[in-house]
Amino acid sequence: MTPDRIALLLSTFAFLAAVVPALRALQTGDWRRGMAQKLTMALGFVFQTGAIYLRGQVVGQCPMKSVSDILVFIAWSVVLLYFLVGTTYRVSLLGMFTAPMVVAMHGLAFALPGAFPDYAAKPKIDALVELHAALALVAYAAFALACVTGVMYLLQERFLKRHLIGGLFYQLPPIQGLAKAIQRQVLLGLVLLSASLAITFKLDTPITNPKLVFAWGVWGLYAVMGFIAWRHALSPRQTAWLAAVGFVIPFISLWLVT
């Protein structure tokens, strides 16, 4: 096994260790804060970063061409955004929902047929092309985090309806705060994806390019979602469902354009 895959495997084990207390908390309703999950998430992120760096050295470019590489890059971006916004949403609890998603992405990246294929190194790196691709994938990570926050909202609403007021409930942010968080994360993703698409006007890329077509489609989906949320045309619960289910489209598009 190559060093980059070893680092990614170690990263997966670290995030898997962060999933264990999450499953226990969901089963018992008792969430206890501690440094253990924060440290395992941080360790997983370090190994993730190392894996992406080593993979970049192997392929001679930022590894964002195969579906496996894209999944890992999005997972890395999700964890990065988790740490950046964690203080807003109580880091440990957001990690409880983020870690399973990252483990699933890593597992899928390993399980795909022909995972992590070798591809020819670029003779010349175009900074604009790399920036365009990186911004688009970080935008997808913001949409993934909106999906996670939507799940948190729906879970808290379920607790309220069933009067399950326990340890886990008290650790969740206020339900109104989660609704606003979904809007902010969708907006962040839209800004990043808009910047990525704006760069394409500087590139010699035909508008009929499948990657651009699907990217504009995802942008349109989340632009409508953001407009609906801004106009309060849907209830917060419906917006949470839209954020949670809506991520399926950009996720599936990864296979259609790669």
Q: Is 60 helix (H, G, I), strand (E, B) or coil?
A: coil
Burial class (CB in 10 A: 0-12, 13-18, 19+), 15: buried
More confident residue, 52 or 152: 52
- The answer, yes or no, to whether residue 22 has pLDDT greater than 90, is no
- pLDDT tens across 64-84, in order? 888 999 999 999 999 998 888
Is the pLDDT assigned to residue 102 strictly greater than 70?
A: yes
Average pLDDT over residues 226-255: 84
Q: Which long-range contacts (CB under 8 A, 24 or more apart) does 34-41 make?
A: 34/92, 37/92, 37/95, 37/96, 37/99, 38/91, 38/92, 38/95, 40/14, 40/15, 41/14, 41/15, 41/79, 41/82, 41/83, 41/95, 41/98, 41/99
Please give the pLDDT value at position 92.
47
* Residues 135-158, mean pLDDT to the nearest whole number: 88
Burial of 16 (0-12, 13-18, 19+ CB in 10 A): middle
Domain residue extents for the chain:
1-116, 124-257
